[in-house]
Structure 1
Amino acid sequence: MFKLLLIEDDTTLFSEIRERLSQWSYEIHGIHDFSLVFQEFIEINPDLVIIDIQLPKYDGFHWCRMIRSRSNVPILFLSSRDHPSDIVMSMQFGADDFIQKPFHFDVLIAKIHALLRRAYNYGAEKPELKTWRGAALDYEKNTVSNEYGSVELSKNESYILKLLVEQKNKIVSREALISRLWDDERFISDNTLTVNVNRLRKRLDELKLGHCIQTKVGQGYIAYEEDSYDQ
């Protein structure tokens, strides 16, 4: 069953679209907090996104750009705005198609079918998004992204973050980190570990996440998942 994320603040229209699309056995998700659209997108990890332009907090173009920076998921704009520049902008920000309201449901369904068929029926695998505190972690590209932006890490910083997040809310000793890094042939010393962790925190500060990596004196480091753990 395909998961569709419908980013629409008109509750009546949302319910109508969800009811019609559910008849095609699609799993329909909505947005609970329109200031956290990107975070909810990451958590849901949908197969296709349907998004309006006019939304609370930030417009659909903003969220389209954020989503496209981290994922190749098909994006379909559904909007009452009819100026040609809106269609052009949606495509420039990475959308795959645009439907103007009011629309016929048969057209919407046909376009959804076509987008899903092109994206997933020809051997393309949906990328798996790793998440931590609402941020998307891409260990291949060594990047971390959330609603505050995206930062690029060094290979060592990315690997340290990966090791800490794998054991989130648990203390990982310095010895264990160094051992894993050496096993991975990254050849990191005790002093280099300190430098890399400090640099990692500074990079994460740009995303308001630096405080989530804490030092436990004489023990090691810990990556907190929830604010309730922070001290």
Structure 2
Amino acid sequence: MDKERILVVDDEEDICEIIKFNLENEGYDVTVAYSAEEALQLDLNSFQLLLLDVMMGEISGFKLANTLKNSSRYHKIPLIFITAKGTENDTLTGFSLGADDYIQKPFSIKEVIARVRAVIARSNTGTVTKGEKWGYQGIEVDMESKSVTIDGQKVSLSRKELEILVLLIRKPGKVYSRADIIHRVWRDEDNVLDRTVDVNVTRLRKKIEPYGKQIVTRQGYGYCFEVI
């Protein structure tokens, strides 16, 4: 079985070597780049995960992540930020850019390994998609027919509930704030409150039981679809 490939992008050589050594001991194939510019010269789609430092030269980790997530070629590559910056705003910025996780320096290498395993597991065995169909375990969403089945039984979702489900299930582990959900689901509608999102998520959870628990509330951040 081929080893899963990880790219570490950090301008601190000591940190890169520590991460590389320990992840290789766990069976991963690890490549190191000491700048975002160097990383962009590589075949990024050959990696199953990128670990990005935030504070780097001319192109920061945030800027690199934004470039990748806005690219049709690279937007599906999982990302973990590793950084000394640890304020709530920094964390929210990282998740809003599509990060799958966020680790603050100084970190324990055991934490890094655990988070790497979790993100790769989600990307390998989480949701599946085929055309306009999305699924996870007993959940099947067909966007062409706008239908949802749970363990083979059709369930009736409102348009907003369906759009929230698709938004979350398409990117397992990604946290969407209430503002993100309002922007993407209610679009240009006025006077939509955070409470409106909460009510729709509560109804959605009930309708997709026993999988309602997969829609997780991240206190202070928003909602995500979590796979086991």
**Counterpart residue number, 1:56:** 57
**Counterpart residue number, 1:114:** 118
Contact 1:48 1:75 in 2 (8 A): yes
Shift of 1:124: 4.5
Identical-pair percentage: 21
Change (3 A) 1:90 1:33: closer
Structure 1 residues 27-176: aligned runs within 5 Å: 27-31=29-33, 34-42=36-44, 45-69=46-70, 70-122=74-126, 124=128
Contact 1:38 1:67 in 2 (8 A): no
Contact 2:78 2:100 in 1 (8 A): yes
**Counterpart residue number, 1:2:** 4
Q: Write the distance in 1 (CA, Å) between the matches of 2:126 and 2:58.
A: 37
1:15 is paired with a residue whose SS is helix
1:61 is paired with a residue whose SS is helix
Query: Which structure 2 segments of 5+ residues have no match?
Result: 130-228
**Counterpart residue number, 1:169:** none
Q: Write the distance in 2 (CA, Å) between the matches of 1:112 and 1:37.
A: 19
Change (3 A) 1:93 1:41: farther
1:78 is paired with a residue whose SS is strand
Change (3 A) 1:23 1:38: same
Shift of 1:45: 2.2
Structure 1 residues 170-185: aligned runs within 5 Å: none
If you compute each CA radius of gyration, which structure gives the higher value, 1 or 2?
Answer: 1
Change (3 A) 1:60 1:8: same
Q: Write the distance in 1 (CA, Å) between the matches of 2:67 and 2:127.
A: 25
Residue 6 of structure 2 aligns to which amino acid in structure 1? L
Q: How big is each residue's C-alpha offset from its partner over 1:37-90, in whole Å with a ceiling of 9 and x where there is no partner? A: 333253x62100100100112111110011222321210000011121111111
Contact 1:68 1:93 in 2 (8 A): yes
Q: Write the distance in 2 (CA, Å) between the matches of 1:124 and 1:49.
A: 21
Change (3 A) 1:97 1:33: closer
Shift of 1:106: 1.1
Aligned residues: 124
Q: Write the distance in 2 (CA, Å) between the matches of 1:85 and 1:23.
A: 34
Q: Write the distance in 1 (CA, Å) between the matches of 2:98 and 2:8.
A: 17
Query: Which structure 1 segments of 5+ residues have no match?
Result: 126-231
Q: Write the distance in 1 (CA, Å) between the matches of 2:115 and 2:39.
A: 23
Q: How big is each residue's C-alpha offset from its partner over 1:101-151, in whole Å with a ceiling of 9 and x where there is no partner? A: 0011111111111111110124758xxxxxxxxxxxxxxxxxxxxxxxxxx
Q: Write the distance in 2 (CA, Å) between the matches of 1:104 and 1:97.
A: 15
1:35 is paired with a residue whose SS is helix
Root-mean-square deviation (Å): 1.9
Contact 1:37 1:63 in 2 (8 A): no
